[in-house]
Amino acid sequence: MTSFAYPYGSYTVETVKLVRNLGLDCACSTVEGLVWKGSDAFLLPRYHIHDWSGEEFGQHLEKWFNN
């Protein structure tokens, strides 16, 4: 195992510290946002994906990557 997903996206300073100390590479929450070069590897955001058509998904990808 190299990564962790916080249950229901919930975390505290203490849980982040515990996950860091497990020797994992990264962890993600359910906070929506982009990952940048300087992003904290243990507080990685996500994008919520819905029941979109391929075209709708493509439009969202373009929007996210062009921001």
Please state the pTM of the whole predicted model: 0.74
Dihedral sign for Cα 57, 47, 50, 19, please. Answer: positive
Range of the domain at 35: 3-66
* CA–CA distance, 30 with 14 (Å, rounded to integer): 17
Structure confidence by residue, pLDDT tens digits, 3-62: 999 999 999 999 999 999 999 999 999 998 888 899 999 999 988 889 999 999 999 889
pLDDT of residue 2: 95
Backbone angles phi, psi at 22, to 5 degrees: -75, -10
pLDDT at 52: 94
3-state secondary structure of 23: coil
Q: What is the pLDDT of residue 11?
A: 96
Q: For the chain, what is the domain count?
A: 1
| pLDDT surpassing 80 at residue 67 | no
Helices (H), 1-67: 13-21, 54-66
pLDDT at 33: 86
